[in-house]
Amino acid sequence: MAKVVMRIWRGDSEGGEFQDFPTEVSEGEVVLDVVHRIQAEAAPDLACRWNCKAGKCGSCSAEINGLPHLMCMTRMDTLPTEEPVVIAPMKTFPIIRDLVTDVSFNYEMARRLPPFAPKAPGPDGTYRMQQIDVERGQEFRKCIECFMCQDICHVIRDHEENKEHYAGPRLFIRYMELESHPLDTNDRRELLRQEMGLGYCNITKCCTEVCPEHIKITDNAIIPLKERVVDASYDPIAWLGRKILRRTKKSPEEAANYRRDPQVAGSAK
Protein backbone atom coordinates (compact mmCIF):
# COMPACT_ATOMS: atom_id res chain seq x y z
CA MET A 1 0.00 0.00 0.00
CA ALA A 2 1.32 3.40 -1.00
CA LYS A 3 0.84 6.45 1.16
CA VAL A 4 -0.48 9.53 -0.59
CA VAL A 5 -1.93 12.91 0.28
CA MET A 6 -5.14 13.87 -1.52
CA ARG A 7 -5.43 17.65 -1.75
CA ILE A 8 -9.12 18.29 -2.43
CA TRP A 9 -10.86 21.60 -2.98
CA ARG A 10 -13.57 22.30 -0.41
CA GLY A 11 -15.96 25.19 -0.59
CA ASP A 12 -18.95 26.72 -2.33
CA SER A 13 -19.83 29.74 -4.48
CA GLU A 14 -18.69 31.99 -1.65
CA GLY A 15 -15.14 30.62 -1.73
CA GLY A 16 -13.08 27.83 -0.24
CA GLU A 17 -9.68 26.23 0.04
CA PHE A 18 -7.79 23.01 -0.53
CA GLN A 19 -7.85 20.49 2.29
CA ASP A 20 -5.29 17.68 2.67
CA PHE A 21 -6.36 14.09 3.33
CA PRO A 22 -3.49 11.65 3.97
CA THR A 23 -4.54 8.16 2.90
CA GLU A 24 -3.26 4.77 1.77
CA VAL A 25 -3.90 3.33 -1.66
CA SER A 26 -4.52 -0.33 -2.52
CA GLU A 27 -3.70 -2.10 -5.77
CA GLY A 28 -5.91 -1.15 -8.69
CA GLU A 29 -7.68 1.73 -6.99
CA VAL A 30 -8.89 4.74 -8.93
CA VAL A 31 -9.19 8.32 -7.69
CA LEU A 32 -12.91 7.89 -7.05
CA ASP A 33 -12.23 4.94 -4.70
CA VAL A 34 -10.00 7.15 -2.60
CA VAL A 35 -12.52 10.00 -2.60
CA HIS A 36 -15.21 7.53 -1.46
CA ARG A 37 -13.00 6.30 1.36
CA ILE A 38 -12.41 9.87 2.50
CA GLN A 39 -16.18 10.40 2.47
CA ALA A 40 -16.82 7.27 4.51
CA GLU A 41 -14.06 7.84 7.06
CA ALA A 42 -13.09 11.50 7.27
CA ALA A 43 -15.49 13.85 5.49
CA PRO A 44 -19.03 12.47 4.97
CA ASP A 45 -20.13 15.80 3.52
CA LEU A 46 -17.42 15.91 0.83
CA ALA A 47 -19.47 16.59 -2.31
CA CYS A 48 -18.77 14.80 -5.59
CA ARG A 49 -20.92 13.39 -8.34
CA TRP A 50 -20.67 9.79 -9.51
CA ASN A 51 -22.90 7.05 -10.82
CA CYS A 52 -21.56 4.13 -12.83
CA LYS A 53 -17.92 4.00 -11.70
CA ALA A 54 -17.08 2.48 -15.07
CA GLY A 55 -16.53 5.40 -17.42
CA LYS A 56 -20.00 5.12 -18.92
CA CYS A 57 -22.07 7.89 -17.36
CA GLY A 58 -19.70 10.88 -17.30
CA SER A 59 -20.70 12.12 -13.83
CA CYS A 60 -17.40 12.21 -11.93
CA SER A 61 -15.44 14.74 -14.01
CA ALA A 62 -12.89 16.78 -12.04
CA GLU A 63 -9.53 18.41 -12.58
CA ILE A 64 -6.82 16.08 -11.33
CA ASN A 65 -3.39 17.71 -11.08
CA GLY A 66 -4.69 20.48 -13.31
CA LEU A 67 -6.29 18.51 -16.13
CA PRO A 68 -9.86 17.24 -16.57
CA HIS A 69 -10.28 13.51 -15.93
CA LEU A 70 -12.99 11.07 -14.94
CA MET A 71 -12.19 10.17 -11.34
CA CYS A 72 -13.52 6.63 -11.91
CA MET A 73 -11.12 5.92 -14.77
CA THR A 74 -7.97 7.48 -13.33
CA ARG A 75 -5.90 4.84 -11.62
CA MET A 76 -3.96 6.00 -8.61
CA ASP A 77 -0.87 4.14 -9.83
CA THR A 78 -0.69 6.46 -12.85
CA LEU A 79 -0.24 9.51 -10.61
CA PRO A 80 2.97 10.59 -8.86
CA THR A 81 2.59 10.00 -5.13
CA GLU A 82 5.57 12.00 -3.84
CA GLU A 83 3.53 15.18 -4.23
CA PRO A 84 -0.09 15.59 -3.12
CA VAL A 85 -2.69 14.58 -5.73
CA VAL A 86 -4.63 17.78 -6.37
CA ILE A 87 -8.34 17.41 -7.12
CA ALA A 88 -10.35 20.48 -8.06
CA PRO A 89 -13.81 21.03 -9.55
CA MET A 90 -14.18 21.85 -13.25
CA LYS A 91 -13.24 25.49 -13.62
CA THR A 92 -15.58 26.48 -16.46
CA PHE A 93 -18.77 25.92 -14.49
CA PRO A 94 -20.03 27.67 -11.34
CA ILE A 95 -19.29 25.80 -8.12
CA ILE A 96 -22.11 24.29 -6.13
CA ARG A 97 -20.02 22.57 -3.45
CA ASP A 98 -16.57 20.98 -3.31
CA LEU A 99 -16.14 18.97 -6.52
CA VAL A 100 -19.70 19.54 -7.76
CA THR A 101 -20.35 22.23 -10.34
CA ASP A 102 -23.47 23.68 -11.94
CA VAL A 103 -23.37 22.21 -15.46
CA SER A 104 -26.76 23.57 -16.53
CA PHE A 105 -25.08 25.61 -19.29
CA ASN A 106 -24.73 22.37 -21.25
CA TYR A 107 -28.36 21.41 -20.79
CA GLU A 108 -29.42 24.89 -21.84
CA MET A 109 -27.37 24.66 -25.03
CA ALA A 110 -28.91 21.24 -25.72
CA ARG A 111 -32.35 22.82 -25.44
CA ARG A 112 -31.41 25.46 -27.99
CA LEU A 113 -30.46 22.83 -30.56
CA PRO A 114 -33.14 22.36 -33.24
CA PRO A 115 -34.11 18.72 -32.74
CA PHE A 116 -33.77 15.75 -35.04
CA ALA A 117 -36.27 15.98 -37.90
CA PRO A 118 -36.38 12.66 -39.77
CA LYS A 119 -37.52 12.07 -43.31
CA ALA A 120 -40.44 9.72 -43.84
CA PRO A 121 -39.80 5.99 -43.31
CA GLY A 122 -39.83 3.41 -46.09
CA PRO A 123 -42.99 1.64 -47.31
CA ASP A 124 -42.78 -0.94 -44.49
CA GLY A 125 -42.69 1.82 -41.89
CA THR A 126 -39.01 1.29 -41.02
CA TYR A 127 -35.75 2.88 -42.10
CA ARG A 128 -32.94 1.27 -44.04
CA MET A 129 -29.43 2.58 -43.40
CA GLN A 130 -26.04 1.11 -44.19
CA GLN A 131 -23.52 0.47 -41.42
CA ILE A 132 -20.98 2.73 -43.08
CA ASP A 133 -23.50 5.58 -43.09
CA VAL A 134 -24.35 5.30 -39.40
CA GLU A 135 -20.76 5.00 -38.22
CA ARG A 136 -19.91 8.71 -38.44
CA GLY A 137 -22.87 9.58 -36.22
CA GLN A 138 -22.16 6.65 -33.91
CA GLU A 139 -18.74 8.09 -33.12
CA PHE A 140 -20.39 11.23 -31.76
CA ARG A 141 -23.12 9.30 -29.98
CA LYS A 142 -20.43 7.63 -27.86
CA CYS A 143 -20.34 10.93 -25.96
CA ILE A 144 -21.05 10.33 -22.25
CA GLU A 145 -21.64 14.03 -21.51
CA CYS A 146 -18.86 14.35 -18.97
CA PHE A 147 -18.50 17.98 -20.19
CA MET A 148 -14.71 17.88 -19.85
CA CYS A 149 -14.37 19.16 -23.43
CA GLN A 150 -16.50 22.13 -22.43
CA ASP A 151 -14.38 22.56 -19.31
CA ILE A 152 -11.05 22.67 -21.15
CA CYS A 153 -12.27 24.87 -24.02
CA HIS A 154 -10.58 28.24 -23.61
CA VAL A 155 -13.39 30.06 -25.42
CA ILE A 156 -15.56 29.66 -22.32
CA ARG A 157 -13.02 28.55 -19.67
CA ASP A 158 -11.61 32.05 -19.37
CA HIS A 159 -14.49 34.02 -20.88
CA GLU A 160 -17.78 33.67 -19.08
CA GLU A 161 -19.28 36.26 -21.44
CA ASN A 162 -18.90 33.89 -24.40
CA LYS A 163 -21.24 31.28 -22.96
CA GLU A 164 -24.34 33.07 -24.23
CA HIS A 165 -23.35 32.54 -27.87
CA TYR A 166 -21.05 29.53 -27.88
CA ALA A 167 -22.35 25.96 -27.94
CA GLY A 168 -18.97 24.36 -27.23
CA PRO A 169 -17.37 21.07 -28.33
CA ARG A 170 -20.00 18.83 -26.74
CA LEU A 171 -22.71 20.46 -28.77
CA PHE A 172 -20.61 20.80 -31.91
CA ILE A 173 -20.34 17.02 -32.11
CA ARG A 174 -24.09 16.85 -31.65
CA TYR A 175 -24.59 19.30 -34.54
CA MET A 176 -22.17 17.25 -36.65
CA GLU A 177 -23.98 14.07 -35.71
CA LEU A 178 -27.23 15.51 -37.04
CA GLU A 179 -25.49 17.06 -40.04
CA SER A 180 -24.24 13.58 -41.01
CA HIS A 181 -27.36 11.68 -39.89
CA PRO A 182 -28.74 9.69 -42.83
CA LEU A 183 -32.33 10.57 -41.90
CA ASP A 184 -32.21 14.17 -40.70
CA THR A 185 -33.67 16.91 -42.91
CA ASN A 186 -32.89 20.18 -41.14
CA ASP A 187 -30.06 22.55 -42.08
CA ARG A 188 -28.52 24.16 -39.00
CA ARG A 189 -25.40 25.63 -40.62
CA GLU A 190 -26.35 29.30 -40.51
CA LEU A 191 -27.54 28.85 -36.94
CA LEU A 192 -24.15 27.38 -36.07
CA ARG A 193 -22.34 30.25 -37.73
CA GLN A 194 -24.44 33.10 -36.46
CA GLU A 195 -25.66 32.00 -33.04
CA MET A 196 -23.65 29.01 -31.82
CA GLY A 197 -20.21 30.55 -32.15
CA LEU A 198 -18.56 27.92 -34.34
CA GLY A 199 -16.12 30.59 -35.55
CA TYR A 200 -14.76 31.15 -32.04
CA CYS A 201 -13.08 27.74 -32.05
CA ASN A 202 -9.51 28.06 -33.30
CA ILE A 203 -8.92 24.31 -33.38
CA THR A 204 -6.34 23.91 -30.64
CA LYS A 205 -7.67 20.35 -30.12
CA CYS A 206 -7.70 20.62 -26.32
CA CYS A 207 -11.18 19.08 -26.36
CA THR A 208 -10.05 16.06 -28.35
CA GLU A 209 -7.18 15.46 -25.96
CA VAL A 210 -9.39 15.21 -22.88
CA CYS A 211 -12.23 13.18 -24.40
CA PRO A 212 -12.51 9.92 -22.41
CA GLU A 213 -14.31 8.28 -25.33
CA HIS A 214 -11.52 9.26 -27.73
CA ILE A 215 -13.93 11.04 -30.04
CA LYS A 216 -11.98 13.05 -32.61
CA ILE A 217 -13.94 16.17 -31.77
CA THR A 218 -11.82 18.63 -33.72
CA ASP A 219 -10.91 16.56 -36.77
CA ASN A 220 -14.19 14.75 -37.29
CA ALA A 221 -16.71 17.31 -36.09
CA ILE A 222 -15.50 20.90 -35.71
CA ILE A 223 -13.32 21.14 -38.82
CA PRO A 224 -15.88 19.47 -41.12
CA LEU A 225 -18.58 21.72 -39.63
CA LYS A 226 -16.47 24.79 -40.29
CA GLU A 227 -15.99 23.65 -43.89
CA ARG A 228 -19.67 23.01 -44.37
CA VAL A 229 -20.63 26.33 -42.83
CA VAL A 230 -18.17 28.14 -45.08
CA ASP A 231 -19.43 26.18 -48.07
CA ALA A 232 -22.95 27.18 -47.24
CA SER A 233 -22.01 30.84 -47.02
CA TYR A 234 -19.37 31.60 -49.57
CA ASP A 235 -18.56 28.76 -51.96
CA PRO A 236 -19.73 29.76 -55.47
CA ILE A 237 -20.04 26.15 -56.57
CA ALA A 238 -22.16 25.32 -53.56
CA TRP A 239 -24.19 28.42 -54.34
CA LEU A 240 -24.67 27.22 -57.92
CA GLY A 241 -25.54 23.75 -56.63
CA ARG A 242 -28.19 25.21 -54.39
CA LYS A 243 -29.66 27.14 -57.27
CA ILE A 244 -29.77 24.08 -59.50
CA LEU A 245 -31.01 21.69 -56.82
CA ARG A 246 -33.31 24.39 -55.44
CA ARG A 247 -31.93 23.61 -52.02
CA THR A 248 -32.08 26.73 -49.95
CA LYS A 249 -30.04 27.25 -46.89
CA LYS A 250 -32.12 27.91 -43.84
CA SER A 251 -31.75 31.02 -41.74
CA PRO A 252 -31.09 30.48 -38.03
CA GLU A 253 -34.74 31.20 -37.32
CA GLU A 254 -35.95 28.78 -39.96
CA ALA A 255 -33.62 26.06 -38.66
CA ALA A 256 -34.73 26.64 -35.09
CA ASN A 257 -38.40 26.40 -36.00
CA TYR A 258 -38.13 23.62 -38.54
CA ARG A 259 -40.09 20.57 -37.57
CA ARG A 260 -40.93 17.57 -39.68
CA ASP A 261 -42.36 15.60 -36.83
CA PRO A 262 -45.99 16.60 -36.25
CA GLN A 263 -45.89 15.36 -32.68
CA VAL A 264 -43.10 17.78 -31.89
CA ALA A 265 -44.71 20.59 -33.83
CA GLY A 266 -47.96 20.06 -31.95
CA SER A 267 -46.34 20.58 -28.59
CA ALA A 268 -44.02 23.42 -29.51
CA LYS A 269 -44.58 26.48 -27.42
Partner 1 sequence: MAEYEQIDFDVIVIGAGGAGLRAAIEAKQRGLRAAIVCKSLLGKAHTVMAEGGAAAAMGNVWSEDNWMVHFRDTIRGGKMLGNWRMAQLHAQESPDRIHELEAWGALFDRTNDGRIHQRDFGGHRYARLAHVGDRTGLELIRTLQQRAVALDIDVFMETKILRLLKNSSGEISGAVGYQRPTGKILVFTGKAFVMATGGIGRSWKYSTNSWESTGDGHALALWAGADLIDMECMQFHPTGMVWPLSVRGLLVTEGVRGDGGVLRNSEGKRFMFDYIPQVFAAETADNEAEADRWYDDHINNRRPPELLPRDEVARSINAEVKAGRGGPHGGVYLDIATRRSADFIKRQLPSMYHQFKELAGVDITAEPMEVGPTCHYIMGGIRVDADTAASTIPGLFAAGEVAGGLHGANRLGGNSLSDLLVFGRRAGMGASDYAEGRTSSTAVDRAEIDSVVAEATAPLTREVGENPYDLQRDLQDTMQSLVGIIRTESELVQALDVINSLKERVKNVAVNGGPSYNPGWNLATDLPAMLSVCTMVTKGAIERKESRGGHTRDDFPAADAALGKINFVQRVNDAGEVVVAPEPLPEMPDELKALLEEGAH
> Is residue 181 within the footprint of partner 1 (CB under 8 A)?
yes
Whether 229 and 188 have beta carbons less than 8 Å apart is answered as no
Closest CA to 62 of 14, 10, 112, 129: 10
User: Considering only residues 79, 96, 230, 256, which one is a binding residue for partner 1 as defined by CB under 8 A?
Assistant: 96
Does 39 engage in binding with partner 1 (CB under 8 A)?
yes
Binds partner 1 (CB under 8 A): choice among 48, 90, 210, 211: 48
Q: What's the rounded Cα separation, in Å, for the pair 21 and 34?
A: 10
Contacts of 14 (CB under 8 A, 6+ apart): none
Residue (240 or 264) nearer to partner 1, CB: 264
Termini Cα distance of the chain: 59
Whole-number Å distance between alpha carbons of 214 and 124: 37
1 lines the binding site for partner 1 (CB under 8 A): no
Please list, in sequence order, all residues whose beta carbon lies within 8 angstroms of the beta carbon of residue 147, skipping any fewer than 6 positions away: 58, 61, 90, 93, 103, 106, 170
Of the residues 4, 6, 29, 150, which one makes contact with partner 1 according to CB under 8 A: 29
- 202 lies in the binding site for partner 1 (CB under 8 A): no
Among positions 107-126, residues that touch partner 1 (CB under 8 A) are: 107, 110-111, 115-116, 118, 121, 125-126
- For partner 1, the binding residues (CB under 8 A) are 12, 26-30, 33, 39-41, 44-59, 73, 75, 96-98, 100, 102-103, 107, 110-111, 115-116, 118, 121, 125-131, 134, 137-138, 141-145, 178, 181, 183-184, 261, 263-264, 266-269
